[in-house]
Amino acid sequence: MTKSFRIALAGNPNTGKSTLFNLLTGLKQHTGNWAGKTVDLKAGTFTFKTNQYEMIDLPGTYSLFSNSKDEEIARDYIVFEKPDVTLVVLDATALERNMNLALQVMEITDRLIICINLIDEAEKMGIKINEKVLMKRLGVPVIKISARNKSGIPMLLDTIDRVVTGAIQCTPYQMTYDEETEKKIALLLPTVEKISGNKFPARWLSLRLLDGDTNLLQQIQQKITIMEG
Amino acid sequence: MGAQSAYKQNEVQELFYQAEQLSSSNVRDQIVEQLYKKSNELIKEGVSFTKTKHDQRTEKLDAIFTSPIWGFPIMLIMLGVIFYLTIAGANIPSSMLASFFGWIEGYLTLMFTTLHAPDWLHGVLVLGLYRGTSWVISVMLPPMAIFFPTFALLENYGYLPRVAFNMDRLFKTVGAHGKQSLTMAMGFGCNAAAVMSSRIIESPRERMLAILTNNFVPCNGRWGTLIVLASLFMAAGFTGGMKSLVTTSVIVGIVMFGIIITFLVSWVLSKTALKGVPTHYTLELPPYRKPKFVDTVIRSSLTKSLSVLKRAIKVAAPAGILTWVLANIQVGDTSILLHIVNFLDPLGQMIGLDGYILMAFLIGLPANEIVLPILLMGYLSTGALIDVEGIEDLKQIFLNNGWTWLTALNMMLFSLLHYPCGTTLVNIYKETKSIKWTFWSFMIPTGIAFLVTFLITQIVRFMGWV
């Protein structure tokens, strides 16, 4: 039986996200529609084993703070469209700078795979990445690939398969912040949980509220009202 | 169901209120700091680096260029060196060009006499339009041909992103975006292009700040004016290398003043009309690279200098003709030009300038390059024709029209601070799609220009320094 799953592709600009997207989806690309939003996202399909996958290429962003329209789009897609798995593509040559995006995505969803791209270039520059350590610390699969050289792709596909079928359970590392921020989160959390239910990441929503982003919770409230009504 | 929603609505409002109370402007800073701390920790555990020589060099250089102690002095010195090279290096080619144009002028005059053209026509067309434009070319072309390539070399070497890095904290303090320093750097070339380059700033608020203040960086159209006036009046008592040095210091001072005004205006705006906190952004510091020397020099001097020059000449001709028409159509017993000049004169005197200078700035709205030639045409059209042989004689024309060092200083400041040129205004409208903000981008600089020159004039006159 064929099942279909949705994969969101997130990452900083210039990390070879599009190369990976093109490699996996080939010519089967179309403009993905997203109900109620006036943005066009590139989407493509591919099959692996018996499953059908739709891959959505989110805009390249450095963070998910809704500094810009692109960041908002990427964030909203992961929060509201709840893809079956989110691939976070990181640049192996600038892993430290890229990592904060992965940490942010991990606050939103527990179904994600970290995909370290440009590994060939990094090795040339003398950067050695121990993905097993990262995997242990982060609690999610970490796969090294080079989309340009098509290396590491079978491993990536297999991991995607095992995450969507539930063979791998991710337990993403959750950021802890400074004491003051944590105290504030704890104050907001009970009420946020009551409103968002178990469908949305309450801790992260509380953090967004502290950062002055009330728009997000309003959207969630509307969504829930619609679902209930 | 309805009742439940209403209850929930209440609760949400309360939650928002609570969140607002708890929220402070440094929450984001804390979040980002923790995220990066964690990233750093992860990398330390999971990644090992065997550094290549190249990386080590970049790191060592960054430790100097972006050092909290040396960063700013180095920036200032770099700026000074660029200006000094520009001014000192431009002297000889400038005078060569000037004598070349003077040589052509001899033939033009000869042609006019053979054709029995009236004296006034010769005066306005040759002594005004031609001489004015050729002065501007001989004064502007050599500096541009030095300034642009030098700047481009620094850019390709990777130094400019470090400038942005150094400036980031200052911009953040005044509520603006660190990338504004990049759009400012662009403004040294052309404000109109810089306004477009402000697209690199994502947040609309900070982008608006960058657009509104970009004009306070003197573009190359104003370099000519600044360099000529600085060397004629500010460095009058010096000769040779010392003269270039004094001129350079004056120009650096003027640029610094513009930067201070930029910070002041950004700060005031971000506290009033454009309230908000600066956003975080990631600035990539590329490795230092040896620039392709010949490639960079040729491309930047050809494309940039020539296109700027073409624009200057294109605008100079119509503006010259307009000035000529204004100077030669009589209404009552004087020309329209004189009517305008007389009308503007009281205002001009108040800010240490005169009616001619204000008129030149008005007609020079399409392009700052032509302000000086228009001014010369204006002075010469009144019959105060004297025989000028070179750039030094330019000073005589100004002195004959009652100039002092105060006039020169005020004209430099007015040129630095006044409204953006026509092209820039059009671009501002295109980028902001707002008549209101385009209007303010005209009014804010103009207001500051009048205020600053007025204050300086009144103080200097009160103290009796002039």
Tens of each residue's pLDDT in chain A, 229 residues: 678 999 999 999 888 898 899 999 987 777 766 655 667 788 999 999 989 999 999 998 989 987 778 888 899 999 999 999 999 999 999 898 899 999 999 999 999 999 999 999 898 888 899 999 999 999 999 999 999 899 999 999 999 999 999 999 899 999 999 999 999 999 999 988 888 878 889 999 999 999 888 788 778 878 777 776 5
Tell me the pLDDT band of B386, cut-offs 50, 70 and 90: very low
Judged by CB atoms closer than 8 Å, whether chains meet at B15 and A187 is answered as: no
Instruction: Report whether pLDDT(B357) > 90.
Output: yes
State residue A204's pLDDT score: 93
Taking contacts as CB-CB distances below 8 angstroms, the residues of chain B near A103 are: 35, 38-39
**The pTM is what?**
0.64
Long-range residue pairs from B422-425, CB within 8 A, at least 24 positions apart, any chain = B422/B365, B422/B366, B422/B367, B423/B192, B423/B366, B423/B367, B424/B191, B424/B192, B424/B195, B424/B214, B424/B215
Average pLDDT over residues B207-213: 92
Measure the CA–CA gap between B19 and B22, rounded to whole angstroms.
Answer: 5
Tokens encoding B86: 């520009």
Tell me the pLDDT band of B302, cut-offs 50, 70 and 90: confident
State residue A32's pLDDT score: 64
Q: Where are the domains of chain A?
A: 4-164, 179-228
Taking contacts as CB-CB distances below 8 angstroms, the residues of chain B near A176 are: 34
Q: Is A172 in contact with A108 (CB distance < 8 Å)?
A: no
Which of B44-48, B138-142, B253-257, B374-378 holds the top average pLDDT? B253-257
Q: What is the SS3 assignment for A115?
A: strand
Q: Where are the alpha helices (DSSP H) in chain A?
A: 17-25, 69-76, 95-108, 119-124, 131-138, 153-164, 179-196, 202-210, 215-228
State residue A51's pLDDT score: 92
Measure the CA–CA gap between B372 and B431, rounded to whole angstroms.
Answer: 29
Q: Is A201 in contact with A216 (CB distance < 8 Å)?
A: no
Strand partners, A129: B47
Within 8 A by CB and 6+ apart from B412, the residues are B225, B226, B229, B230, B254
Measure the CA–CA gap between A98 and A105, rounded to whole angstroms.
Answer: 12
Q: Which of B85-89, B349-353, B417-421 has the weakest average pLDDT?
A: B85-89
Average pLDDT, chain B: 83
State residue A37's pLDDT score: 61
Instruction: Report whether pLDDT(B56) > 70.
Output: yes
The ipTM value here is 0.90
**Strand B334-335 versus strand B330-331 pairing type:** antiparallel
Q: Which CATH superfamily is domain A4-164 in?
A: P-loop containing nucleotide triphosphate hydrolases (3.40.50.300)
Q: Is B205 in contact with B274 (CB distance < 8 Å)?
A: yes
Measure the CA–CA gap between B82 and B220, rounded to whole angstroms.
Answer: 14
Q: Give pLDDT tens digits for B402-455.
A: 899 999 999 999 999 999 988 889 889 988 889 999 999 999 999 999 999 999
- Contact of A189 with chain B, judged by CB distance below 8 Å, is answered with no
Starting at the earlier edge strand, list the strands of the sheet with A51-57: A29-32, A41-48, A51-57, A4-11, A85-91, A112-117, A142-144
Taking contacts as CB-CB distances below 8 angstroms, the residues of chain A near B30 are: 177-178, 180-181
State residue B25's pLDDT score: 75
Out of A12, A181, A206, closest to residue B30 by CB: A181
Q: Give pLDDT tens digits for B139-187.
A: 777 877 888 788 888 888 888 888 888 888 888 888 888 888 888 888 8
- Contact of A105 with chain B, judged by CB distance below 8 Å, is answered with no
Burial class (CB in 10 A: 0-12, 13-18, 19+), B78: middle
Phi/psi at A176 (5° precision):
-110, 140
Percent of chain B with pLDDT over 70: 91
State residue B1's pLDDT score: 42
Q: For residue B368, what is the DSSP state?
A: G
State residue B7's pLDDT score: 56
* Stronger pLDDT, B320 or B425, i.e. the higher one: B425
Instruction: Report whether pLDDT(B389) > 70.
Output: no
Angle of helix A179-196 relative to helix A202-210, nearest 10 degrees? 120
Rg (CA), chain B: 26
Judged by CB atoms closer than 8 Å, whether chains meet at A178 and B38 is answered as: no
Q: Which of A161-165, B73-77, B120-124 has the weakest average pLDDT?
A: B120-124
- Contact of A13 with chain B, judged by CB distance below 8 Å, is answered with no
**Strand A85-91 versus strand A51-57 pairing type:** unpaired
Torsion of CA B34, B207, A36, A65, to 10 degrees: 0
Size (chain A), residues = 229
Interface residues of B toward A, Cβ cutoff 8 Å, are: 1, 5, 8, 11-12, 14-16, 18-20, 22-23, 27-28, 30-32, 34-36, 38-40, 42-43, 45-52, 55, 202-203, 279-282, 284
Average pLDDT over residues B216-242: 83
